[in-house]
Amino acid sequence: MKIIPDKLLIVREEDEHAFHTGRISDRYQFWGYNTFAFESGAIGIPQNWENLRKEYIVLNLFDVEDNIYQLSFGTMDLRAN
């Protein structure tokens, strides 16, 4: 059973998560976003939730046929700012 599709439809809409889309060349389209997960698997929303979450940045590159070419991700610490 196949779970991950070969292609993802990305519709650019203002004020939505897909607003970080574009082209870097004639060959590649990108879609970037940030997300987070709680380090401790917190249940509910604790008072200090900002200090318990881990931030991630994700960058997807697609080829001219809209196939996923490369997926990159990393962590970032927004608490330092």
Return the higher-pLDDT residue of 50 and 19: 50
Residue in this structure with the two tokens 């991950």, named with its chain if needed: 4
Confidence of residue 2 (pLDDT cuts 50, 70, 90): low
Q: Which amino acid is at 1?
A: M
pTM: 0.59
* Domain locations in the chain as residue ranges: 17-80
40 vs 6: which has the higher pLDDT = 6
Helices (H), 1-81: 49-52
What is the DSSP secondary structure assignment for residue 50, as one 8-state letter?
A: H
| Helix (H/G/I), strand (E/B), else coil: 55 | strand
Average of per-residue pLDDT across 41-57: 75
Whether 65 shows a pLDDT value over 60: the answer reads yes
